[in-house]
């Protein structure tokens, strides 16, 4: 019996040793959750920059009003009033520089104007049709950008040509004259870079009293004021 027990114990020890050796040869069990491959690095897309030159076209609508006093031959001291409206079409060229979110710029545009106005006085001794066939502006711009959206203020010089034809005085003398003028302009706008280098904008400009008006016979140089409002939409390509 003792020998049998010894043999049994030795067999158990041998079996344990063989089992341990076999377990050591087996591959480790797979992890409960296999590791995921690291995500590929994708750099963040750079923000839009307004810096650079741009070229574009615009169209809009303008309206003007004015009034003042003068002396008309055959009538004496008199008052006058003027009003008109027109559609405008033109092009613009500009340059922006962006520093952080602040955008500085300069823009020049040239417009054709399609419409007319009237110049009259209560006595009927002055009557004329007035047109501004063309005008242009040179302006600075200062704005704040939220990536592809830009809000800005603008101001500078406006210049153009005015024609007037009609009759004045008693007896009436017909006239058809023109003059080139300049004055100041100021306004504000919003621009959206909607696709690649393209942006769309809407803009409002207010202009002051012109420096001159066409010569009118039988009338002393008038004293008064006038102002013009302009709303236009534009499309720009940024280089």
The yes-or-no verdict on residue 22 having pLDDT over 70 is no
Contact present, 144 and 150 (Cβ < 8 Å): yes
Residue 186 CA to residue 157 CA, distance in Å, equals: 9
- Domains of the chain in sequence order: 52-238 (2.40.160.20)
Ranges assigned E (strand) in the chain: 52-72, 76-99, 102-120, 126-146, 149-168, 173-195, 198-207, 223-238
| pLDDT band per the 50, 70, 90 thresholds, residue 42 | low
Cα dihedral sign, 48-51-54-59: positive
Contact present, 179 and 220 (Cβ < 8 Å): no
For the chain, give the mean pLDDT: 88
| pLDDT band per the 50, 70, 90 thresholds, residue 98 | very high
Q: Global pTM? A: 0.81
Residue 158 CA to residue 153 CA, distance in Å, equals: 16
Contact present, 134 and 160 (Cβ < 8 Å): yes
The yes-or-no verdict on residue 36 having pLDDT over 90 is no
| pLDDT band per the 50, 70, 90 thresholds, residue 27 | low
Residue 46 CA to residue 222 CA, distance in Å, equals: 57
231 beta partners: 61, 204
* Residues whose CB is less than 8 angstroms from the CB of residue 208 and which lie 6 or more positions away in sequence, other chains included: 183, 184, 185, 227
Contact present, 119 and 79 (Cβ < 8 Å): no
The yes-or-no verdict on residue 112 having pLDDT over 50 is yes
Instruction: Give the length of the chain.
Output: 239
Contact present, 204 and 231 (Cβ < 8 Å): yes
Contact present, 206 and 238 (Cβ < 8 Å): no
Average pLDDT rounded to a whole number, residues 48-59: 97
Question: 88-100 b/e with 16+ CB inside 10 Å = b?
Answer: bebebebebebee
């Amino acid at each position: 019996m003792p020998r049998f027990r010894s043999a049994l114990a030795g067999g158990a020890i041998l079996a344990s040793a063989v089992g341990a050796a076999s377990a050591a040869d087996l591959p480790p069990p797979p992890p409960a959750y296999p590791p995921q491959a690291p995500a590929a690095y994708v750099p963040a897309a750079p923000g839009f920059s307004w810096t650079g030159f741009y070229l574009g076209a615009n169209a809009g609508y303008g309206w003007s009003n004015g009034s003042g006093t003068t002396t008309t031959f055959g009538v004496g001291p008199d008052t006058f009033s003027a009003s008109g409206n027109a559609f405008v079409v033109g092009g613009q060229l500009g340059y922006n520089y962006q520093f952080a979110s602040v955008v500085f710029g300069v823009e020049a545009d040239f417009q054709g104007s399609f419409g007319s106005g009237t110049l009259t006085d209560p006595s009927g001794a002055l009557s004329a049709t007035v047109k501004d066939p063309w005008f242009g502006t040179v302006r600075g711009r200062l704005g704040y950008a939220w990536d592809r959206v830009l809000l800005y203020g603008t101001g500078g010089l406006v210049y153009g040509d005015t024609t007037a034809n009609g009759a004045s005085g008693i007896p009436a003398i017909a006239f058809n004259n023109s003059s080139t003028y300049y004055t100041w302009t100021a306004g504000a706008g919003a621009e959206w870079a909607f696709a690649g280098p393209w942006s769309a904008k809407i803009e409002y400009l207010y202009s002051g009293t012109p420096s001159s008006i066409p010569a009118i016979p039988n009338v002393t140089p008038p004293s008064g004021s006038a102002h013009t409002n302009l709303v236009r939409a534009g499309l720009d390509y940024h280089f």
